[in-house]
């Protein structure tokens, strides 16, 4: 069989189940760490329940994925997960799900591994959201999950550090409501409201515009140009204010050209 004929026949097995995100739908990629509970508790010396070094690796990974070839509008990370809002008009790889999932997971895995210095892997799934309201609800959901995780984690590790086993600590917290968990921490000298915002609300990564000054090499005239860069935000707002924060990225995208010159990432 000629190569061209063989190639045509075999490629059918790769593409026969290709699914594409319909045009007009918003896309949010959720990228989750695989086996990160074992990674952070057994294989790497991270502080529990939260570690700034781990946070910085996740922010660096989010920033990288935001700028790896897709039209990403907003990135959000909490715990071992990343959410990336893509432009509704992003047509990269024809919006094929297998390409979006594999490349985003691969980019995240490569970046986090390079920062950690040890193998780490992520998986990815794409939420296909019909309306802007659904997008805002998605990010509200993930931020509220961050707050719930922060409260549970601080309670759990407070018990573990006082000698409770994993099973006993889990059992002690089972059935307690939010008020009871807050009171439990308070009695131990921890005011949940005073904890670092990034632990309770997550970290955002978004584009910002800035001016750069240059000089025309022919005339010597000083000129300015607008560029954009990625900046992380460790003090995200909450609830409706957080929704407004995300909504502004979507509004800005509607008025942006398809191609904007990029510059190196600015750190917060």
pLDDT, tens digit (0-9, with 9 covering 90-100), for 94-142: 999 999 999 999 999 999 999 999 999 999 999 999 999 999 999 999 9
Can you name the residues that pair with 159 across neighbouring β-strands? Answer: none
Following DSSP, what letter does each residue of 182-232 receive, concatenated?
Answer: HHHHHHTT--GGGS-HHHHH-EEEEEEEEEEEEE-TTT--EEEEEEEEEEE
Task: Collapse the DSSP code of 67 into the 3-class scheme (helix H, G, I; strand E, B; otherwise coil) and give the result.
Answer: coil
Degrees, nearest 5: CA angle 40-41-43 = 70
**Torsions phi, psi for 113 (to 5 deg):** -60, -40
Per-residue confidence band for 267, with pLDDT thresholds at 50, 70 and 90: very low
Rounded average pLDDT over 246-252: 90
pLDDT tens track for 153-208: 999 999 999 999 999 999 999 999 999 999 999 999 999 999 999 999 999 999 99
Greater pLDDT, 254 or 51: 51
Residue 217 banded pLDDT, cuts 50, 70, 90: confident
Please state, in angstroms and rounded to a whole number, the distance separating the CA atoms of residues 62 and 112. Answer: 9
Q: What is the pLDDT of residues 73-101, one digit of tens each?
A: 999 999 999 999 999 999 999 999 999 99
Total-model pTM: 0.88
Cα–Cα dist 210/227, whole Å: 6
219: tokens are 């005339």
Class in CATH terms, 3-135: alpha beta
């Amino acid at each position: 069989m000629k190569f061209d004929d063989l190639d045509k026949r075999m490629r059918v097995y790769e593409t026969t189940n290709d699914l594409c995100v319909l045009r007009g739908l918003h896309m949010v990629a959720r990228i989750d760490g695989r086996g990160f509970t074992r990674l952070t508790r057994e294989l790497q010396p991270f502080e529990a329940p939260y570690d700034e070094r781990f946070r910085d690796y996740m922010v660096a990974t989010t920033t990288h994925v935001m700028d790896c070839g897709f039209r990403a509008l907003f990135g959000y990370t909490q715990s071992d997960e990343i959410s990336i809002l893509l432009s509704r008009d992003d047509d990269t790889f024809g919006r094929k799900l297998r390409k979006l999932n594999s490349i985003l997971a691969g980019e995240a895995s490569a970046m986090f591994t390079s920062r950690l210095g040890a193998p780490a892997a992520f998986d990815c799934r794409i939420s296909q959201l019909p309306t802007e309201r659904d997008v805002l609800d998605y990010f509200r959901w993930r931020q509220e999950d961050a707050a719930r995780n922060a409260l549970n984690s601080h309670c759990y590790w407070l018990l573990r550090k006082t000698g409770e086993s994993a099973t006993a600590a889990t059992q002690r917290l089972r059935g307690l409501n939010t008020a009871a968990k807050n009171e439990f921490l308070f009695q131990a000298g921890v005011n949940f409201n005073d904890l670092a915002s990034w632990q309770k609300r997550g970290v955002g990564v978004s584009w910002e515009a800035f001016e750069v000054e240059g000089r025309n090499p022919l005339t010597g005239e000083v000129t300015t140009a607008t560029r954009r860069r990625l900046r992380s935000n460790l003090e995200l707002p909450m609830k409706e204010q957080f929704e407004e924060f995300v909504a502004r990225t979507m509004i800005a995208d509607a008025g942006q050209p398809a191609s904007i010159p990029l510059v190196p990432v600015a750190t917060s």
